[in-house]
Amino acid sequence: MATTTARPTTVPEILECAADLIEKRGLARRTFFDSRKGSFCTVGAMRQCAHGDVFGGPCWEAEKFLFDQLGVSVVKWNDNPNRRKSTIVRALRRFAKKYRGLHPEEG
């Protein structure tokens, strides 16, 4: 019998999954997915995690939460050439933890 893995549905699950994906596959800039390298930008990674496709639709709640935390669009934050992959991965995990603290009912 084949097993299936449930897609993340909560904001912290999506952020943690995106962090894992970027950490393993690499960070893309100015594109949701770099097919040559197999890497993802933050928005592309969140969409891949939530929908199984970088073009599967937005993750409004996660994207809005990140915007509120960052003060800039997720795309602009991701595409900053001075921001390292490790910084983005750590930030996504930190924001997932922060979200859980603000919304304990959502786990």
Residue position matching structure tokens 């933890």: 97
Determine, yes or no, domain membership for 83.
yes
Determine, yes or no, domain membership for 6.
no
Q: How many residues does the chain have?
A: 107
| CA atoms within 13 Å, Cβ hemisphere of 71 | 0
pLDDT in tens, the chain (107 residues): 444 568 888 999 999 999 999 999 999 999 999 999 999 999 999 999 999 999 988 999 999 999 999 999 999 999 999 999 999 999 999 999 999 999 988 76
- Output the pTM of the full model: 0.91
Q: Which domain holds residue 47?
A: 11-100
Determine, yes or no, domain membership for 31.
yes
Residue 24 belongs to what H/E stretch?
helix 11-25
Can you give the C-alpha Rg of the chain in angstroms? 13
Q: For the chain, how many structural domains are there in total?
A: 1
